[in-house]
Structure 1
Amino acid sequence: MTADERAASPDRRTGLVRAVDLADVLVYLVVLNLAVQLVPAILSESFTLTLLTAVLLKGVLEVVVRVKTRARRRLGEARTPRARVVAALLLWLVLVGSKLVVLELVALSFGDAVHLGGFVSVTGLIAVLLLARAAVRRLLAPEVPATDGSPDAGRLAGHGTFGE
């Protein structure tokens, strides 16, 4: 492992916040502020509340992505029709339930000061948040030098930093 890989390793924390987490929160902040400006159903009374909402969404979406990944893996590993149906229902529950959890957590945390609209607007918002996060991570991920001629040379690296 090189010095750069050790420094970027998720289990070696030199600061209070990993760079990838800070980048995610900043992306969420930009997307949320744009949504507040462009979508009438999405409201935030102040920049500070939007920043706190971005931090809350970062935490919630990290958990949701992990649970969704497990549910998708379980669906892929299901061998019997009954197991497939149960896994598909679990995945559907995670996908739908996560939007309701986001709405409820924002309501409990910020009351009427922040409103993310209803189910449809929060679904669209979360999709845009995750797409923007993926785009920024792809943009910021370092490229592997294409020196060995292998098919993997030149592809994006950094699974412990900006990769997913």
Structure 2
Amino acid sequence: MPRINATDLVDVLVYAAVLAIFAELFPEVISESFLVSLLTAVVLKVVLEIVIRLKSAVVARLKGADSARVRVVSVLCLIGVGAGSKALILWLTDLVFGDAVYLGGFFAVTLLVVSLIAARAGVRRIIQ
């Protein structure tokens, strides 16, 4: 079982803050309480870690591709992981939290994920 380190905790707090900002600014994003937002941030952290690892593997395969077929398949996989990750986030939050959390539609989740990753990168840059 992987250990939780300080960076993971900082990521979850950053994700909770970004989620709270989205819930404040966008009426279609709903999180009923701070605890639910914090738990949603944990779910987002887990899903985004998996997605980042998948995307990294696909990009590495794309960079090492020696044929056009491998490049095309890699690009299609990259698109699939990108779109599938948003659908996975929507499905998991609905499954785990039901009506307590609503992250909006596909485009709102896409903007949320981009914001989460940008905030994570910014905070990690500040820490280092």
TM-score bin (small chain)? over 0.9
Runs of 5+ consecutive residues of structure 2 not aligned to the other structure = none
Kindly report which structure 2 residues correspond to 1:41-56, keeping only aligned pairs within 5 A, or say none.
Answer: 41-56=28-43
Q: What residue number does 1:58 align with?
A: 45
Q: What residue number does 1:112 align with?
A: 99
Kindly report which structure 2 residues correspond to 1:94-109, keeping only aligned pairs within 5 A, or say none.
Answer: 94-109=81-96
* Aligned match for 2:120, one of 112, 133, 140: 133
Q: Say whether residues 1:23 and 2:34 are aligned partners.
A: no
Aligned-residue CA RMSD (Å): 1.1
What code does the residue aligned with 1:48 have? L
Q: What residue number does 2:63 align with?
A: 76
1:40 Cα deviation from its structure 2 partner: 1.0
Q: Give the distance between the partners of 2:71 and 2:26, measured in 1 at CA.
A: 38
Structure 1 or 2, whichever has the larger Rg, is 1
Normalised to the residue count of structure 2, the TM-score between the two structures is 0.96
Q: Say whether residues 1:32 and 2:15 are aligned partners.
A: no
1:78 Cα deviation from its structure 2 partner: 1.0
Residues 8-41 of structure 1, C-alpha deviations (whole Å, 9 max, x = no match)? xxx8x6xxx3110010001001100000000111
What code does the residue aligned with 1:68 have? K
What code does the residue aligned with 2:82 have? L
The runs of at least 4 aligned residues of structure 1 exceeding 3 Å deviation read none
- What is the DSSP-based 3-state SS (H/G/I as helix, E as strand, rest coil) of the residue aligned with 2:22? helix
Q: What residue number does 2:74 align with?
A: 87
1:76 Cα deviation from its structure 2 partner: 0.9
**Number of matched residues?**
127
Kindly report which structure 2 residues correspond to 1:141-152, keeping only aligned pairs within 5 A, or say none.
Answer: 141=128
1:70 Cα deviation from its structure 2 partner: 0.3
What code does the residue aligned with 2:103 have? L
Runs of 5+ consecutive residues of structure 1 not aligned to the other structure = 1-10, 142-164
Q: Give the distance between the partners of 2:62 and 2:27, measured in 1 at CA.
A: 37
Normalised to the residue count of structure 1, the TM-score between the two structures is 0.75
